[in-house]
Each structure stands twice: as structure tokens, then as C-alpha cells.
Structure 1
Amino acid sequence: MALAPEDFPQMWQRPGYEELTGILESLELSPPVWNHRQQRSDIVAQQESLATQRKAEVTRYLSSIIKSPLAWIDDYDKQEALWELASKRMSERCGRTAMGEVTRRWPFEGDGAACEPFELIIKEPALTGDSLGFKTWGSSYVLSRYLPRLAATSLFKIFDETLGQPPPTVLELGSGTGLLGVAAAAFWQTHVILSDLPNIVPNLKDNMETNKDLVESRGGSMSVGPLTWGGEEDEIDQELFGESFQFKVVLVADPLYDDDHPALLASAICQNLALGSESRAVVMVPMRDDTTRGLLESFKQAMLDLETPLFLEEEKKLDGEDDWGEDEDEGQVECWLGVFSRGGSPLTA
């Protein structure tokens, strides 16, 4: 049974390293595990309840550890570890952006008898204002869970096992933390190349390695490399992406934040999507506000304005969630899903 704050060992009592570590570990507030069966309001309420329980007392206690010289602990490394752990517990009570590095588990249902339920483990480094690629956005989870449906419908000709051909290598653009690409490798039992800006790639590789055994046990595989849209040669892995028109399937989720992104993304898709009428680019954009809706319309037009246009074959909307906002209304996000091809389409031709 957890101790109440008034029963915590005080600094004047000179508690040992193991005792303090146990207390600090018991105070951890982890981000919620995403589960589409559970209402976001319930998840948030649970987290807020944990965070606010005796918050003032817990904060004062954490501060006492941070301020203490811990001189009775005769090991500077252990002192540092306690100060760092107390600081993490403090930041956890200040919201997601202050939490530093976190690791989440993302549950997936099985796809019939041939596919057992599984979880992916995704690390998110500390968030900063210009590091949007270090957060796992809710739309990536929405599209990840929709992958089996895509393979059975829009991408059926590509993944039809009766044709006797291995599934094609898939490219994910702007992978961020890699949830979508890793899920694609697991669900589709194929090789997926995850890509993003050079500074995002190290964490992307970590997440690939963390989930490698699970993905390979399901028949998939992965690789990672930098691919900067419109970037110079040194910002693009030439071994992976030096050749154009390689990939029959290109995946993208939540890629539009700046005015130059629609044209850059359209160009990147065109450069990498394989030639031929069966190739498909699957794009998901959460419509958070008027700005995002405007960027989506610009992207659709940019796809048509390419020298070899890409046409919108089908589109639909799916309900999603983000944990970026502080209230329920901000958490619920409608996600637009579009499937593009190099052939003509009644939607855009």
C-alpha cells in the first residue's frame, strides 16, 4: 500500500538511497496507454486524479529532496540520481510538455485468427517548441489501426496474397516517433522504411530497435534513414532514397504545419512513389482548425500541380484523438484520409 505524503521519510531523518528511490518511483505519473475502447475524458480524468492527489504535499516533499545536499549519502552519483528522479516527478505534475522523455505502449487488436493482438513501445524524447517529430500524434494511431482495413480495400491489389508475389516495400514520410511505420511492418508483414529529418532519426532508430523482435516475429522488417523534403544530398540517405520511384505504397500521417509543407510533401511523394497505376500514397491529416484545413486544400492542389499529377482516388474521415490539448474538445480530432494514385480519378480529374 502506498504511503501518504505525511508518512514519507523526511530529510532530517537521513533516509537511505534505496528508501528514497522507492518513494520516488512510487510517485511516477506515466502518460496514459492509448486505448480506443476507453473515452479520452476517462483517461484524462484518471491522470488528473493521480496528479492532483495531495499535489501540494507531494510537491513540497519533492522540493525538499531537490534542495537537500543529501550529504549523508556517500556517493555523488546516487545523489545525482535522486535529484534527477525527484525533478522528473515534479515535471510530471506540470503537464506533458514538461515531462521530459516518456515511453508509451500502444495496443492493437488482432486482425482475425491470423493476427494476434500486440503492443508497440514508442519512446518520445522531451518536447521542445521546434521538435514536433518527438511526439506521437493521435492521427498516427488512427491510421495505424486502420491499416488492416486499407490492405483489404484500397490497397487490395497490392497486398493480395493470391497473386503469389511478396508484398512491396513501403515508405513512410515524416515518421516522427515511428508508430505508423512500425505498425505497417507488423500488420502488413513487409519491409517498411521509416524516414524523417536527420535530428529525428536517432530516436526513430531507437524505436525501430525496441520493436524489432515483435515485428520480425510477425514477418515484417524495418529500416530507417534521413529524408528531408526538398533537402540537399547530405540531408537524404542516398543508399535508401537515391533512386526515384521505388515504392508502391507511401504512408504519411499529420505532415502539414507550415505554408511550405503542402508543396514539399507533394514533391516528396511524387519523387518516391513508384510509376504505374497501382501505386498508392495514403495520407492522413487531422483537421484541428481552419489553418490545418487550409493546408490540406493547398496540399490537394499541390498534388494536381505536379508535372506528373497525383490524383485523389478516394477520401474519408475518421475520428481521432490527441493528448496535446487540455480539455475534451481539444482532444477530439476529425482526421481526413486520402488515397492518391498516378492514374485519373473521378474525384479530381
Structure 2
Amino acid sequence: MHRTYRDISPEDFPQVWQRPPFEDLLACLKQLHIEPSIWCPGEPRKTPREDQENTAHSRRKVIAYLGSIVGNALQWIKDDEQREIIWEEASRCLSQRCGRAGMGEITRRWPFQNRQAPFELIVREPPITGDSLGHKTWASSFLMARLLDSLVSGSLAHLLTPGRRESLKVLELGSGTGLLGIAAAAMWQVEVVLSDLPEIMQNLDYNIKQNRATVERLGGNIDSGVLIWGSENGNDALFSYGNRFDIILAADGLYDDDHPDLLYSAIREQLSSSPDSRVIVMSPIRDETTKRLIAQFRSSMSEIHLATLEEHILAGQDDWGDDDDEPQAVECWWAIFGKRDSGQ
């Protein structure tokens, strides 16, 4: 019978003092991998080690077991390449138990339901180092992406009609890993331009390429380019002509003191002057600072006569923590902005 290490105690794993063969150690480590979590509201988080590691005590034992492998010379395994494989696998399993900030590269598969058919987007997140926060998929991106289908018959019904979709221009600001913008192209059956800083574009373009076939099968299209908020230099030619986008999306773009003004300036330069145009923004309410940034942004939007047509608070989850415990709860504010005299 095939042995399943998820179902047994860590004490029964192949122990280094037993000098287990390479094949046994590798099989055990492969089963100890943790798949990256996703956060569907109202659904429990599902991970491959859910039953095995359901207590802090059990998790500590697994971590101790992995540490015993990483710290062992594995001298009974004579092949140098095989030893390296075991150390790499054990180290990867350890990093997966150190929270998202401690992980290396991961790939998540995000499920969606829309009016056409269910589909899945595959999104790569490189290791998060320094200030590369755009390499993580944040809760607000997924939460907003799940709202998109409802907007077709709701707040954006005047724009997302069969006759207007072909000419509609949609822009996502600060796309990061691209989940929101790619989902918008798929669900709305329109072309969406994704944008971010130069250092984020390589991974963003990779994710666009990975999901392009899915988006095109559903009737959408994707383009991308560098767009630096508040700067006239270094931007893609896509943005040479301003004020041409009918819908602008932005998720989690308000977390630094200068972000309200920068985001506002990008919207001012790129949003169409049509009374039908709309801006949809979502931001986690992490603390009092975030509340202040949201208020500052709303005030700036009023300067270009963009009123808050509707706003809501949504509950979500995120995995920006120091360990592999359940994702942290987070509340997200989102709003739709439009011209005061639009009548919408």
C-alpha cells in the first residue's frame, strides 16, 4: 500500500538517524509541500496538509523534522546531486511554513465564476524582497476581481453593453501580478491595459502570457505597459495620448503618504472626459493611516469633479503574516467614482 505521510505523525516520517534511502526521503518531502492558499469569502482555506498539521504542536514537529534534514550532512547518500535535492526540498518546505514574506516563488490558481463559464487564472508571485510589494497578489485584487461580473448588470451596465464592449478602453493602474486586470478582460470581454513600474513588468508580462489563451477564449484581450504615476518620463507609448480610458481600476494603491496624490494624478491624466467614464478603487483598511489616505484620495478626486457614486466595505483575507496560520482578516473599502452630472 502506498504510504501517505500526511496521515501519520512526524515521528513516523523517515528519520535521519535511520539513514533512509534517497527515494524515501524525497517521497516524504514531496508530500509535505504546502500549496499556496487562496481566499474565497465564505469558503474554508484548503491546503494539502490541512489534516496533518491542524495544530500548532503538530506544525512545530514538522518544522523540527525539516530542520533535522537541512542541518544534516546526509553522508549515507553518496550521490552529491541527490543530497542537494533533499536539502532543497526540505528548505522549500520550511520556507512554505514561514508566511508569505518568507516564501520563495509561488504560483496560485484563482477560480472564478461568470456568466459564460467558470475559469481559472494562474498567477506567479516571485520572491518578495525589499520594496517589491507588487510581486504579491493582495486581498483587494481578488476581492475586486470577484465583484466584476456583478458590475456588468449593475453600476457599469451603461458601459458594458454588447454594442460598446468592442470600443471600450479599460486601464488598470498598479497591476502588480495582474490578477485583477486579467480577470476584467476575461469577465467583461474587453481589452484591458495593465500597467505598473518597470521593475514589476517582467513578472506581470509573464502572467499575461500564461493567461492570454484563457482570456481570448472568453472574448477578451490584454495589453500592458510601464506607467509611472506622476511622471511624464519612462512611460509606455500606450499612454502618450491622455484621457482615453473609459474605465480605470486600481486595487491596493494607497499605502504610502504620497500615494493619494500620485494615484489621483494618474487618474486625472488617463480617464476619459466622457460623463459615462468610471473609476473603481479598492483599498484595505489596515489602520488609521490607511483611513487617512483614503480620505485624502477622495478629497483629491473631488477636485476633478469625480464624485463618489457608491462605496462599500467588504470583508476579505490575506496571508501577509509571519507563519502559516490561517489568513488574516482584512476589511476593504471600495468605491465607484464618476462625473457629478452623469445622472448615474
**TM-score tier (shorter):** 0.7 to 0.9
Please name the residue that 2:30 is paired with. Answer: 25
Please name the residue that 2:4 is paired with. Answer: 2
Please name the residue that 2:294 is paired with. Answer: 296
Q: Is the 8 A contact 2:189 2:218 kept in 1?
A: yes
Please name the residue that 1:344 is paired with. Answer: 341
Per-residue deviation at 1:258? 0.8
- 2:56 matched to 1:59? no
Distance (Å, rounded) in 2 between the aligned partners of 1:302 and 1:48: 51
Q: TM-score, normalised by structure 1?
A: 0.85
**Superposition pairs for residues 93-132 of structure 1, below 5 Å?**
93-111=97-115, 115-132=116-133
Pick the structure with more helix per residue: 1
- 1:259 counterpart SS class: coil
Call closer, same or farther: CA 1:22–1:10 in 2, change over 3 Å. Answer: same
Please name the residue that 1:79 is paired with. Answer: 83
Per-residue deviation at 1:14? 5.0
Call closer, same or farther: CA 1:63–1:165 in 2, change over 3 Å. Answer: closer
1:318 partner letter: L
Please name the residue that 2:270 is paired with. Answer: 272
2:309 partner letter: E
Q: Is the 8 A contact 2:247 2:278 kept in 1?
A: yes
- 1:233 counterpart SS class: coil
Distance (Å, rounded) in 1 between the aligned partners of 2:343 and 2:24: 68
Distance (Å, rounded) in 2 between the aligned partners of 1:243 and 1:99: 40
Q: How many residues align?
A: 337
- 2:41 matched to 1:36? yes
1:225-255 per-position Cα deviation (integer Å, ceiling 9, x unaligned): 2211123522x22x22222112111101111
1:95-124 per-position Cα deviation (integer Å, ceiling 9, x unaligned): 22212222222221232xxx1112222222
| RMSD (Å) for aligned C-alpha atoms | 3.0
Higher relative contact order (CA 8 A, sep 6+): 2
| Larger mean Cα displacement after TM superposition, 270-279 or 178-187 | 270-279
Per-residue deviation at 1:35? 2.2
Distance (Å, rounded) in 2 between the aligned partners of 1:82 and 1:96: 22
Per-residue deviation at 1:129? 4.7
Q: TM-score, normalised by structure 2?
A: 0.86
Q: Is the 8 A contact 2:100 2:321 kept in 1?
A: no
Please name the residue that 1:178 is paired with. Answer: 178
Distance (Å, rounded) in 1 between the aligned partners of 2:250 and 2:244: 16
Per-residue deviation at 1:133? 1.3
Unaligned runs of 5+ in 1: none
Distance (Å, rounded) in 2 between the aligned partners of 1:7 and 1:48: 12
Distance (Å, rounded) in 1 between the aligned partners of 2:209 and 2:104: 21
Distance (Å, rounded) in 2 between the aligned partners of 1:284 and 1:50: 33
Distance (Å, rounded) in 1 between the aligned partners of 2:28 and 2:146: 37
Identity of aligned residues (%): 46
Per-residue deviation at 1:53? 6.1
| Larger mean Cα displacement after TM superposition, 120-129 or 181-190 | 120-129
Which of 328, 332, 335 pairs up with 1:335?
332
Unaligned runs of 5+ in 2: none
2:148 partner letter: L
- 1:215 counterpart SS class: helix
- 1:314 counterpart SS class: strand
